[in-house]
Amino acid sequence: PDGRPLAGRKVVVTAGPTFEPIDPVRGLTNRSSGKQGYAVAAALAELGAGVTLISGPVALDAPVGVTRVWVEAAVEMKAAVEAHLPADIAVMSAAVADWRVDGVASGKIKKKPGGPPSLALIENPDILAAVSAPGAKRPKLVVGFAAETSDLEANARAKLSRKGCDWIVGNDVSSEVFGSDGNAVTLFTRDGAEPWPRQSKTDVARKLALRIADHFKA
Ligand code: PMT
């Protein structure tokens, strides 16, 4: 039998950006490379978990032993996550676009003499909040991320309570984080905050995976 600490546990991880189409050739996206989320998926799989990685468009290979599901827009990411519940654990590290274009054009929008078109935006569903909502399919542990450029603690704590997840990994993205191999984060739980100094995204992921394994041991 597999003696690894997360053997038999089912995990859903989201990673990367979402891509919100404007028309068939253009879209809105963000600077997430997927590195942090892919490292989390790999670290959980190394501890024996069965990991499904719901990934936005990135240029990374799927980690060994991880099942990857490609998605583009936030609405597709939400459907893919929900299709893979129930799970014991969800880790939502994707940089999900808060808005999408209302009324995606079916053909390429042409450049016209009258000036540029206006884009009307509508709010995307909050995947983390939906997964965290009480119900039979709620994972036992839901971990969110919070990318902030100021007031990390206040903003991360506000997200922890507003979205209803159990832990949040606060990420100060004002210095190099997007696309880089290093990261400095603070793990916020309901009753504590643990700052983790800057280290490789692989090491951040391994630390988080071990914390998760400890949680399930307790
Ligand atoms: O991909 P890398 O280049 O390695 O960079 C890593 C990272 C900075 C993307 C990652 O560490 C990180 O912080 N991910 C969260 C990015 C983010 O969009 O944070 P947020 O504060 O906007 O969202 C808070 C949480 O809600 C996140 O768990 C997010 O996945 C979730 N969310 C947000 C909006 C939405 N509509 N649905 C969501 O589920």
Tell the CATH topology of 10-105+117-217: Rossmann fold (3.40.50)
pLDDT in tens, 98-107: 999 999 999 9
* CA 94 to ligand 1 centroid distance, Å: 5
Q: How far apart are CA 35 and CA 8, in angstroms?
A: 25
Establish whether residue 18 lines the binding site of ligand 1, counting it when its CB lies within 6 angstroms of any ligand atom.
Answer: no
Q: State the closest ligand 1 atom to the C-alpha of 95, by its place in the atom list counted from 1.
A: 18
**Measured at the alpha carbon of residue 179, what is the angle toward residues 25 and 160, in degrees to the nearest 5?**
95
Whether ipTM exceeds 0.95: yes
Q: How far apart are CA 199 and CA 69, in angstroms?
A: 28
pLDDT in tens, 138-193: 999 999 999 998 999 999 999 999 999 999 999 988 888 888 999 999 999 998 99
Q: State the closest ligand 1 atom to the C-alpha of 173, by its place in the atom list counted from 1.
A: 8
Per domain, the residue ranges of the chain are 10-105+117-217
